[in-house]
Amino acid sequence: LLYAHLLLYQANLHHFFKNVDEAIRLATKAIDIQKQFLGDNNLEYASSLNRLASYYSSIEKYDKAIPLLRKAMAITADKDQYQYSDLLNTLTDIYEKKGNIDEAIQLLKESQQLLRKYVCNNEDQYGLLLYTGTLIRLASCYKSKEEYNEAVQLDTEALEITYQLYGKNNPFYAEGLNDLAFDYYNLGQNERAISLIREYLPMVRYFLLNSFIGLTSNERFMFWNRFSIDLETNIPLLIIHSDTPH
């Protein structure tokens, strides 16, 4: 088993350096060893299947990745709900990349129900984070189908949980306001959208004044990558659709 772990470590290195074929070869060999010593109903074995699936997915060999993920899901379903949910999300990524949004929605709904049942009722913070992420992803899928009423419900619930976890003075809460504002904007409910944007913009100003100086260069890049787009779109929206002076 130690040899299998070494093979998986080497596979990760090869994958990092874009030598995906060698990564796949090494990971496959490691999985065969794990199956021999651990059996094919083991969580560690399932985790390695997930890793191999990610290698195939990275080179768009989705037909190879999907059966591996399905097999890992069958192993984890009754053993580790978090790992099972993670596999659901990975499989969702593949279906989104393939353009199969309906299948992605079904998987995210399963993840939503799973996390609500096993986590949210127990006030598990990590579970709440996973659940919130699932809500946001599900809302995004509905937006891609222009089903904004569904998106509003999901983004609203995600925003409420984010407030519960972090309070209002947090970038995640601000991002949730922005998402919800554009749901309403796409539904033609401009007044509600503008109200949310008016709440959102001062938060961005606060983050600029109080947080930006202490960020690393990478964190600054991530900040601007996320918020510059919003600033470019939200301010014109506010000006165009608001009848009140600014």
Task: Look at 211 and 37; give whichever has higher pLDDT.
Answer: 37
Instruction: For the beta carbon of residue 133, count every other beta carbon within 10 angstroms.
Output: 16
DSSP state of 228: H
At residue 190's C-alpha, the angle toward residues 184 and 195, to 5°, is 85
Share of the chain above pLDDT 70, in %: 83
Kindly state the average pLDDT of the residues 112-124.
77
Q: Mean of the pLDDT values across residues 7-28?
A: 96
User: Per mean pLDDT, which range of 31-35, 124-128, 180-184 is the poorest?
Assistant: 124-128
Q: What is the pLDDT of residues 41-50, one digit of tens each?
A: 999 999 999 9
Percentage of the chain modeled with pLDDT above 90: 62
Q: What is the average pLDDT value for the chain, to the nearest integer?
A: 87
Q: Would you say residue 242 has pLDDT above 80?
A: no
- pTM of the predicted protein model: 0.78
91 contacts: CB under 8 Å, gap ≥ 6: 66, 69, 70, 73, 107
Tokens coding 42: 């083991």
Q: Could you say which DSSP state residue 240 is in?
A: H
Distance CA 35, CA 14 (A): 22
How far apart, in whole angstroms, are the C-alpha atoms of residue 105 and residue 113?
Answer: 12
* Torsion sign over Cα 202, 230, 242, 240: positive
Rounded to a whole number of angstroms, the CA Rg of the chain reads 21
How many CA atoms are closer than 13 Å to the CA of 58, on its beta-carbon side? 17
pLDDT of residue 217 exceeding 80 = no
Tell me, what's the pLDDT at 179? 93
CA 167 to chain centre: 21
Residue 97 reports pLDDT greater than 60: yes
Q: Given a cut of 50, is residue 36 above it in pLDDT?
A: yes
